[in-house]
């Protein structure tokens, strides 16, 4: 009986098993690709947020040296006669910053500022140009607020100012800026 073979199921996989395995593998690969795409976009957003936070802190540090109000004209809410907003002005006060714009959307357009009044795009870090930072804008708003209700903007100074620094970014090819980060802090009049 050596010539007889037992009839049974042939070894190997059926077409259905192969198709099912390929389908499961394809779903796994698609999920991994979607994860990589999401991770890349989240990494970009986190990078923009980190840059924006540092740019807001730069302006906060610039403003730390400013007086609460001009001692000669405490009710004047603008640059006082002949003052300019810059490092050469030793008598800046908080209201001088109200409405200030530094960077991409400034007039004329420029780069955002560091804490020493220097345009950041002219610097390098580790041999890499920071020119991409020129797509960011720092905007400052200074408001008089009620010290007993910090959400209430008031017309006359009651000893408390709320400073809002917004950092905006314009993506390459975009016509509009998008808000990336907002930093708010308070300054109280020294008594």
Domain that holds residue 82: 21-188
pTM for the model stands at: 0.76
List CB contacts of 185: < 8 A, sequence separation 6 or more.
60, 162, 163
Inter-residue long-range contacts of 34-38, CB under 8 Å, 24+ positions, other chains counted: none
Are residues 159 and 176 in contact, defined by beta-carbon separation less than 8 angstroms?
A: no
List CB contacts of 151: < 8 A, sequence separation 6 or more.
145
Inside any domain, residue 10 = no
Inside any domain, residue 167 = yes
Inside any domain, residue 112 = yes
**Coil vs helix vs strand at 132:** helix
Inside any domain, residue 109 = yes
Inside any domain, residue 95 = yes
**pLDDT of the residue at 111:** 81
Average pLDDT for residues 20-46, to the nearest whole number? Answer: 90
Inside any domain, residue 177 = yes
Q: Characterise 133 by phi-psi region: left (phi > 0), alpha (psi -120 to 50), beta (else).
A: alpha
Inside any domain, residue 165 = yes
| Residue entry with tokens 């100012």 | 161
Lowest mean pLDDT among 2-6, 26-30, 63-67, 176-180: 2-6
Inside any domain, residue 83 = yes
**Helical ranges in 65-166 per DSSP H:** none
Lowest mean pLDDT among 80-84, 108-112, 172-176: 80-84
Considering its fold, how many domains does the chain have in total?
1
């Amino acid at each position: 009986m050596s010539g007889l073979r037992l009839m049974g199921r042939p070894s190997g996989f059926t077409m259905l098993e192969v198709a099912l395995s390929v389908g499961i593998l394809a779903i796994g690969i698609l999920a991994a690709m979607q994860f990589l795409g999401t991770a890349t976009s989240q990494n970009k957003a986190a990078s923009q947020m980190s840059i924006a936070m540092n740019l807001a802190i730069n302006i906060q540090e610039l403003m730390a040296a400013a007086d609460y109000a001009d001692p000669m004209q405490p009710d004047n809410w603008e640059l006082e006669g002949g003052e300019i907003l810059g490092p050469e002005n030793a008598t800046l006060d908080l209201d001088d910053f109200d409405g200030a714009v530094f960077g991409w959307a400034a007039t004329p357009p420029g780069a955002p500022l560091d804490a020493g009044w220097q345009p950041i795009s002219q610097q390098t870090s580790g041999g890499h140009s920071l020119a991409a930072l020129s797509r960011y804008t720092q905007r400052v708003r200074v408001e008089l607020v009620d010290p007993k209700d910090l959400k209430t903007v008031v017309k006359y100074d009651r000893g408390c100012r709320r400073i809002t620094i917004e950092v905006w970014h314009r993506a390459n090819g975009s016509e509009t800026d998008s808000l990336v980060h907002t930093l708010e802090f308070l300054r109280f009049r020294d008594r």
